[in-house]
Amino acid sequence: MTILSVNNEFNNSVKQHTAQCFSRASGQYGQYAKVQAKAAHLLLSMLRTGNKSLLDLGSGPLLHQQTLAHYADSIVNMDLSHSMLMQGEVGDHRICADMDNLPFQSQVFDVVFSNFAIQWSQNPAKLFVELARLCKPNGQVVLSSVLTGSLFEIDIAWHALDGRAHVNPFLALSTLHRHAIDAGFDVRTMTQECFVDEYPDAKAAIKSIKQIGANQLQTGRANKGLMGKAAYTKVLNNYPLTNGCAPVTYQVALMELIKR
């Protein structure tokens, strides 16, 4: 297996820490990414068949490789984490690179598939412009992205400790729509879905974020846990429960875009 690393000299600590978080989660990601799997199922139903080339942007451990092979002759898997790309059993084209510095020529892909990835972009407006650049005329982009309002239970719990934000400031669906239009896409499908993952207790709910590698804040801080038992107990006790379970709520954008 060959993984090509391109432009992988991270120019800031946030990107480096994000890659490290996902690398640490790479071995168990598929086991815990239940909400991500639900979103992927909906995205896959939007894909057109008969494509020559497809980019899986933020492919992670290549969980959808075999299914995507039904939609395109050639698939390029790209992720920020080298360890994530090492997990997939099949898939020839693997590139470790940053979505904010895409290493591809213009008009090379018929389809871009991206599930639970673009929320990690530090410049989403530019990313949409780049996606349009990569697509052939009439090219299709299907993507999901975490939206504002997500993980509010975790934010409530941690806020009891220090009053600081412990969840990234995700974008609104209207903002993604504007970026897509400005980049030159027609928006064929755009919905906001609410997915709720339930855990037996607050500790398991908080741990679930780390288990999928999403504990890196865009400010550069990572939710690494708490040193003191009393402080940790305070966070757990403040976690909002529903019917005895600890929910983790995701607001998710599902979009199908066509390049004009």
pLDDT per residue as tens digits for the range 62-116: 999 999 999 999 999 999 999 999 997 766 799 999 999 999 999 999 999 999 9
User: Rounded distance, CA 64 to CA 46, Å?
Assistant: 14
Judge contact between 256 and 140, C-beta under 8 A.
Answer: yes
Residues 156-183 pLDDT 10s: 999 888 888 889 999 999 999 999 999 9
Can you give the residue ranges of every domain in the chain? 3-151+169-196+250-259
Interval 199-204 mean pLDDT? 97
For residue 16, CA distances in Å to 22, 126, 182, 218 come to: 10, 20, 29, 11
**What sections of the chain are H helices per DSSP?**
13-25, 29-32, 34-44, 65-68, 82-85, 124-134, 152-162, 173-183, 202-211, 229-237
Just give the CATH number of 3-151+169-196+250-259.
Answer: 3.40.50.150
Whole-model pTM over 0.85: yes
- Checking DSSP bridges between strand 109-114 and strand 51-57, what pairing results, if any? parallel
User: Rounded distance, CA 211 to CA 249, Å?
Assistant: 16
